[in-house]
Structure 1
Amino acid sequence: MDSIQQDSARSQDQQQPPKNKKNLWAGLILLAVGAILLLNTLGVDFPSWIISWPMGLIVIGLAIGVSNKFRDFSWLVVSGVGTFFLISRLFPDIQVYRFILPVAFIAVGLIVLYGAKGSWFSRKRRDEDKQYGLVTDDSGPLTEDQRLELIAVFGGIKKTVYNKNFRGGEIVTIFGGGEVNLLNADFNGTIILEVVHLFGGVKLQVPAHWEVSTSEAVAVFGGIDDKRNFSVPTDPAKKLIIRGTIIFGGLDIRSY
């Protein structure tokens, strides 16, 4: 009996996501930043570019990437902006502003490609989630409205889902926003909704009895405002996990 219990415990441990490794790298980054600031306070002479706000953006971007296992491109945007301004400091003779327009077009192109390849990324993430037992409702082929794949760049989106076998999905907003209504949707088990909001946000409406977790979402210069009706008992058999990155934006969760 003891051996069976031990085997069961080991099996459960193997199904848990390796969060400790992720926290290790995030902790090492914070320790390195703290050590540099402490040494600078004690009089150690560092180059001025090391202790600057562009370098701070680069570090924040890397920390975001580590926290979400580089699942999306938000960390690259933050680190890219920091790198852009850092180059202008290190090489003042270079007219960095001349590169803003072409880089913007390249960034938008990458976002469009992300949308075109979204199904591949989704399958990769779903396979990883199933490995750790995070997705319990994944039977049969996907049909229309079962999975969200929404991208808004310099614009808005508005979507209402009626499917009773909803599987989650992804919502990406860049300098835009929108509204996603899930009040008429339904599912059984655990599903995941990935969000990436850069200088934008979304109002998300969910049924009051859904159990919603936002612990895996990272907000930098932004926030998550949960305005659901907490007087309604939640159903543990219907768990929605929201994860992703919100930068200079917000996610508004409501149940009405």
Structure 2
Amino acid sequence: MKNEVHSKSMSRQVILGILVIGMGLLFLADNLNIWDFRRSLQFWPMVLIMVGVFKLFDSNSSDGYILGSGLILVGVLIVLHRLGIIYFSWRAMWPLILIALGASVLYRAVSSRRLVGSSLKGQALQLDDSINATAILGGFERRIHSQDFRGGEVTAIMGGCALDMRGAHIQTEAVINVFVMWGGITIKCPPDWTVVLHGTPIMGGFTEKTVPPPDNSKRLIIRGYAIMGGVEVRN
């Protein structure tokens, strides 16, 4: 588990480093009058494509894959529109966005029903053993009381998520994947948990305000991205 988390963290840093170097080379070429990079700033939707790729790379849930694919699709459509290859208007696009959001809600409802059905059949499943929360242009608050918390995934885009896990317990280690863009995530954890941050801030930040426990037998690992947003972990 530790080696896997470390490997993924290194991979994210390598991708981010390559992107930063690429941007630096483009600006250098512009300063040397080799290429007019400022004119290419009209293709700002490439940022959406980059964020979507980050989300796909860092996600372990279907919601994350859907969100990442959606960001990439929107970015590609806007770029093609600016290149004159295709034409579309937001007036025609917003109904498709509503349909996609509705399909996502239906999928999550069906998945939750299947999970409850499996639990009623006698399988050892707890509904709050893992977290899968997404806040887009809104807020999400939840208290977790699982006695065997195993981690999950939290996404906040132009919104906020607040998790109160002070009544939860973990056996040895739990991993939460976070993705923040123009938003914030706050996580409250018990004082006997050791918090390990493996986040990548991009014009954002990761903050830990916890009291170190006497031992590190229970570890909560936070990894992911904070893009012009913040992640705060405290007791």
TM-score of the alignment, normalized to the shorter chain, above 0.5? yes
| Partner SS for 2:225 | strand
Q: Quote the Cα distance in structure 2 between the aligned partners of 1:27 and 1:48.
A: 22
**Which of 81, 89, 93 is the aligned partner of 1:96?**
89
Q: Quote the Cα distance in structure 2 between the aligned partners of 1:67 and 1:153.
A: 20
Q: Quote the Cα distance in structure 2 between the aligned partners of 1:66 and 1:31.
A: 22
Q: Quote the Cα distance in structure 2 between the aligned partners of 1:173 and 1:18.
A: 21
Contact 1:155 1:176 in 2 (8 A): yes
Query: How large is the Cα RMSD of the aligned pairs?
Result: 4.0
**Which of 36, 40, 57 is the aligned partner of 2:30?**
40
Q: Quote the Cα distance in structure 2 between the aligned partners of 1:153 and 1:179.
A: 13
Assess, with a 3 A threshold, how the Cα gap between structure 1 residues 245 and 109 changes in structure 2: closer, same or farther: farther
Greater Rg over alpha carbons, structure: 1
Letter in 2 for 1:192: V
Give the share of equivalent positions with the same residue, in percent. 24
**Which of 165, 175, 178 is the aligned partner of 2:148?**
165
Q: Which residue of 2 aligns with 1:185?
A: 168
Q: Which residue of 1 aligns with 2:218?
A: 238
Shift of 1:192: 0.8
CA displacement, residues 167-219 of structure 1 (integer Å, 9 cap, x when unaligned): 1222234443342211111112111112233443332111123111221x334
Letter in 2 for 1:245: Y
Structure 1 spans left out of the alignment, 5+ residues: 1-11, 120-139
| Partner SS for 1:40 | helix
2:136 paired with 1:156? no
2:179 paired with 1:196? yes
Query: What is the TM-score of this pair, normalised by structure 2?
Result: 0.69
Contact 1:204 1:252 in 2 (8 A): yes
Structure 2 spans left out of the alignment, 5+ residues: 113-122
Q: Quote the Cα distance in structure 1 between the aligned partners of 2:140 and 2:33.
A: 52
Query: What is the TM-score of this pair, normalised by structure 1?
Result: 0.64
Alignment of 1:37-116 (within 5 A): 37-46=27-36, 50-52=40-42, 54=44, 57-58=47-48, 60-61=50-51, 64-65=54-55, 68=58, 72-73=64-65, 76=69, 79=72, 82-83=75-76, 85-87=78-80, 89-91=82-84, 94=87, 96-109=89-102, 111-112=104-105, 115=108
